[in-house]
Amino acid sequence: MRHNKANNHLGRKAGHRRLMLANMAASLIKSKRITTTVAKAKALRKYVEPLITKSKSDTTTNRRTVFSYLQDKVAVTELFNVISGKISERPGGYTRIIKLGFRLGDSAETAMIELVDFNEIYVKEAKKATTRRSRRKATTDSAPVVETPVVVEEAPVAVEEVVESPVAVEEAPIAVEEASTESAEVVSEDNTSAGDQSSEENSSDENSENKEG
C-alpha cells in the first residue's frame, strides 16, 4: 500500500526517474513548452520550479547547483540569461498544465506543460485588460467637467426672454393714444350737436316773437 506517499514513481526506479525528469526539464527550458502525460507533467512541475527559483540570483553557486540537476550547459545558460529576466517579478507558479485529452493506443491522459511568461496569447489579453481599465477611469474623471459648459450656455436664453418684455410696454401708449383720439372725436361730436340744438332753439324763439308782433 502507498499511503502518505506524495511522489509518483512513474513505474520507474529512482535513477531512471531522475534522469527522465532532468531531460524533460531541459527540454522545457529550451522550447518553453512540451507535451507529455498528466502524471509526468505534475512530477516535472515539482522538479523544475525550484530550479527556476534559483535562477533569480545569478551566482556561480546557483549555476553549479542547477547544472547538477539538469546536466545540460545550454539549458543552464538559457535559464539564467533569458528565463530569469521574465520571471524575476513572479513569486512562484512558473509553469501551466493544460490537459489535451486521451492519447490513441494506450488512452493515457495527455497534457501540455509550458512556461507562463512565454505564452504570448495570455500576455496580450492581460495587457488589453489593463488598458481598458485605465480608459474607463479617464472617461469617468472627465465626465463631470463636460457638464459645466452646458449650464453656462443656458444662461443667455433667459436674458433674451427678459429683453422681449419692453415690446409689450411700448404697445401700451399706442392703445392710450387711440383711446384719447376716440374720446376727442366723441367730445367734438357732442359739441357740434349741442351747437345745432342751440341754433335751432334761437331760430324758434325768433319765429315766435315775429308772430306775436
pLDDT digits (tens, 9 = 90+) for 154-163: 545 544 554 4
Model confidence at 172: pLDDT above 50: no
Model confidence at 124: pLDDT above 80: no
Closest to 52 measured CA to CA, from 34, 29, 72, 36: 29
Q: pTM score, two decimals?
A: 0.57
Which carries the bigger pLDDT value, residue 5 or residue 53?
Answer: 53
**Among the residues of the chain, which ranges form H helices?**
14-31, 38-54, 60-70, 73-78, 84-86, 120-163, 165-212
DSSP string, 45-97: HHHHHHHHHHTTS--HHHHHHHHHHH--HHHHHHIIIIIHHHSTT--S--EEE
Model confidence at 16: pLDDT above 60: yes
Range of weakest confidence among 120-124, 146-150, 181-185: 146-150
Indicate the pLDDT class of residue 195, thresholds 50, 70 and 90: low
Q: What percent of the chain has pLDDT over 70?
A: 57
Average pLDDT value for the chain: 77
